């Protein structure tokens, strides 16, 4: 019988409680091990003059197993990392690399232009570049006629 070792389960539970207390949203997905946990890749989020950059460590995950969804001021990165056991008779002394599904939600600190978002996966690092929205740009708003004036249509 295959038994998964999860040395970080206690740490994850404590981090989950801390995040709940600080108001962060925590999503849980069922894992193959039977625990209701998921893993999150390490990330950096920083600003440049014209863009917001997000870098996520996702070593060993092919691009076809990654998904990026952007809506409003949120970005969701999710994916799947397969467990590859080379032989069935292994005796682990330490097992820390995460496997299975992951999902990470990021609240974007500045408004961005979703249609200008780009992502690249290189050397196990997923880099997402989001073009900042120009809030100082002047946009003319057209005034519509009331329905009564144009025949009720």
Mean pLDDT of successive 10-residue stretches along the chain, which has 153 residues = 51 60 49 57 93 94 94 91 72 78 92 93 96 83 79 56
Q: Which residues pair with 56 in a beta bridge?
A: 43, 126
Residue that has been written with the tokens 């690249």 in this structure: 120
- Tokens (6 digits) for 83: 């467990």
pLDDT at res. 126 = 97
In angstroms, how far is the first alpha carbon of the chain from the final one? 70
What's the pLDDT score for residue 30? 42
Which pTM does this prediction carry?
0.64
Q: What secondary structure letter does DSSP report for 57?
A: E
Name the residue ranges covered by the structural domains of the chain.
Answer: 40-131
Q: What local confidence, expressed as pLDDT, does residue 100 receive?
A: 85
The third-level CATH classification (topology) of the domain covering 40-131 is: Immunoglobulin-like (2.60.40)
């Amino acid at each position: 019988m295959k038994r998964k070792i999860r040395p970080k389960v206690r740490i994850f539970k404590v981090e989950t409680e801390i995040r709940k207390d600080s108001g962060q949203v925590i999503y849980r997905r069922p894992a193959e091990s039977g625990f209701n946990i998921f893993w999150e890749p390490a990330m950096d989020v920083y600003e440049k003059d014209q863009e917001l950059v997000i870098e996520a460590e996702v070593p060993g995950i092919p691009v076809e197993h990654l998904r990026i969804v952007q809506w409003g001021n949120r970005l969701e990165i999710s994916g799947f990392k397969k467990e590859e056991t080379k032989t069935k008779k292994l005796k682990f002394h330490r097992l820390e690399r995460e496997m299975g599904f992951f999902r990470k939600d990021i609240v974007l600190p500045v408004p961005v232009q979703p249609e200008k978002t780009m992502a690249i996966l290189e050397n196990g690092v997923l880099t997402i570049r989001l073009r900042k929205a120009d809030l100082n740009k002047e946009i003319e708003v057209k005034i519509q006629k009331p329905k009564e004036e144009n025949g009720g249509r």
